Structure 1
Amino acid sequence: MTVHDLARALPEIPALRERCRAYAMLDAILCPEWEDRYYSFDAKWSAGEEMASMRTGTGDLWSIVFSAAGAFVRGFDHEAPMSPAGNGGRLWPGLVESVPPEFADSVDEPAFSYDGVLEATVCLWRRTGDDRWQAGDIEFPPGDDPDGATNLFETLVDGSYHEFAEDYYERPVDADAVRAILDLRPLTTDLVKRLNPDLALVDLAADLAEIGYPRQ
């Protein structure tokens, strides 16, 4: 999969936003220690913007900025052939040249950059009102995953959080409870206990506020 395949596979902006919120809520329940989580969501990241993010802890990451303009996605696979590290410190040709001006602030965002260069091997966007996701005109290097799109986004695209969680957290995870949160059902004490018996609903107050997830 490349960014062009990813653009065809991602759901529309509202559905993607809700999936990101659900992933972040699930991680908050399964992993109270924020620094050890994969998925996060900040409903008040900046004025008029929300941000979903993923980080593996080994250098791979992505962020999605949701705003009135639409959504801007960038992903960084540090071992991908398209990494700036293997391209003289420069972004791969075509990656960001056609990003619309509505998302220029995200391209230039210092939090997404390293040494002044956007940390990105994947970049795509969708403006409010667009009928599809878009990406730049890119000539990809050889390989099955040249930009890291599969490595970075496969779990987000196919909704396979349950399989991810059992593998990453190395324990059984209640599949019905996961589905309930993926459906954005209001968080209850029962749902929390089914996923993490050592956690109480009150312990998640700060996460609920940050993610903007509904509660009973």
Structure 2
Amino acid sequence: MSTVYEAAALLPDPAELRVHLRALAVLDATIGDDPQFCVYAFNADWGPGEEAALMDNGSGDDFSVLFAPAGVLIRGFDHESAMSPYGTDDEEVWPGVVDEVPAALLPLLNDPAFRDEGLDFTRVTVCLWRETGDTAWRAGSAIDFPVGHESPDGSGFLLHLLTDRSPETVQAHFEDYYERPVPLDAVRHVLAGHPVTPAIAAALSPAEVS
């Protein structure tokens, strides 16, 4: 079973995670030929002193990684998860998932952007956080996961490119999504945080595909 606890052990420190998420957004925007089909985005002006990395696969699954002075909060939602508020009788967030989020990070979790219209709960099945100065990622300590699911909270696929950050894995993701070859050297370049040069942009551009 893959859960938030395995994800917490595999995530890098916030600075490295931020670089990686920015790179995913850059790769998506450069490889794709239509912004509306991009899955990854990065908003450097989400709020005062805040940045947001966002993923939305267009099929009802999404995550946000919010960087703020108080720390970093990761919120993910798997719409098919047995832990979805929509799948429970009382339409409540699954017990234990967000109960221990530090008070300083609660405004990030409760952002209206992550609530569906007319509903009084945050869209979340997986949540992690790391306060500024902390040395590890945290998650609810007493989550009773439903049995019979490989990834009951959706963390296994939602955070796949955050827990496995290898250029080969990222390359495979974009080749599968865009159904065309993506040069590994160009992926490595962007993931390393280097600027997108005209040569790299040309190598990744769909215009280069015959």
Q: TM-score, normalised by structure 2?
A: 0.92
Question: What's the CA shift for 1:141?
Answer: 0.6
Secondary structure class of the residue paired with 1:95? coil
Q: Does 1:8 align with 2:2?
A: no
Task: Supply the distance in 1 between the matched residues of 2:157 and 2:207 (Cα, whole angstroms).
Answer: 32
1:82 corresponds to which residue? Answer: 83
CA contact (8 A) 1:110 1:116 kept: no
CA contact (8 A) 2:31 2:206 kept: no
Task: Supply the distance in 1 between the matched residues of 2:98 and 2:162 (Cα, whole angstroms).
Answer: 22
Task: Supply the distance in 1 between the matched residues of 2:183 and 2:21 (Cα, whole angstroms).
Answer: 19
Question: What's the CA shift for 1:94?
Answer: 0.6
Counterpart of 1:139, as a letter, is D
CA contact (8 A) 1:81 1:141 kept: yes
2:112 corresponds to which residue? Answer: 110
Counterpart of 1:168, as a letter, is Y
Question: What's the CA shift for 1:108?
Answer: 1.4
Q: Does 1:130 align with 2:130?
A: no
Q: Does 1:181 align with 2:183?
A: no
Secondary structure class of the residue paired with 2:80? coil
Task: Supply the distance in 1 between the matched residues of 2:84 and 2:45 (Cα, whole angstroms).
Answer: 30
The alignment's C-alpha RMSD in Å is 1.2
Secondary structure class of the residue paired with 2:176? helix
Task: Supply the distance in 1 between the matched residues of 2:159 and 2:131 (Cα, whole angstroms).
Answer: 20
> What is the percent sequence identity of the aligned residues?
43
Question: What's the CA shift for 1:178?
Answer: 0.5
Question: What's the CA shift for 1:197?
Answer: 5.6
Q: Runs ≥4 in structure 1, deviation > 6 angstroms?
A: none
Task: Supply the distance in 1 between the matched residues of 2:163 and 2:38 (Cα, whole angstroms).
Answer: 19
CA contact (8 A) 1:121 1:147 kept: yes
Question: How many residues are paired up?
Answer: 199
Task: Supply the distance in 2 between the matched residues of 1:113 and 1:37 (Cα, whole angstroms).
Answer: 21
Counterpart of 1:174, as a letter, is P
Structure 1, unmatched stretches of 5+, are 200-216
Q: TM-score, normalised by structure 1?
A: 0.89
